[in-house]
Amino acid sequence: MHESTVMHIAAQALTLAIKLGGPILIASLVVGLTISLFQSVTQLQEFTLTFVPKLIVIVLVLLFSGHWMMTEMISFVHSLFSQLPHLLRG
């Protein structure tokens, strides 16, 4: 297996990780920023006020985009397994 092949597979894996983690991180960031602004305006400092809405939004994002995430992951693993004979030959 050549160094360029390993780098290509690693780049694909990192790209997939960013694609799969992006929606969850962006949704969590938006909710966290919104709740922080609300807490700043109302001067209400409650820990559960940030935790519960983030948890609900993350569950909703996983519920709506979970199928797409699983499809992307399965296609990546399938492509790796299809390349396996070529990779083992060198």
Provide the pLDDT for residue 56: 94
Q: Which amino acid is at 71?
A: T
For residue range 36-77, what is the model confidence (pLDDT) as tens digits? 898 888 888 877 788 889 999 999 999 999 999 999 999 999
Single pTM value for the model: 0.77
* Domain extent listing, the chain: 3-89
Q: Angle 3-42/47-89 helices, nearest 10 degrees?
A: 170
Q: pLDDT of 20-31, one tens digit each?
A: 999 999 999 999
Residue 31 in tokens: 């909710």
DSSP result, the chain: --HHHHHHHHHHHHHHHHHHHHHHHHHHHHHHHHHHHHHHHHT---HHHHHHHHHHHHHHHHHHHHHHHHHHHHHHHHHHHHHHHHHHH-
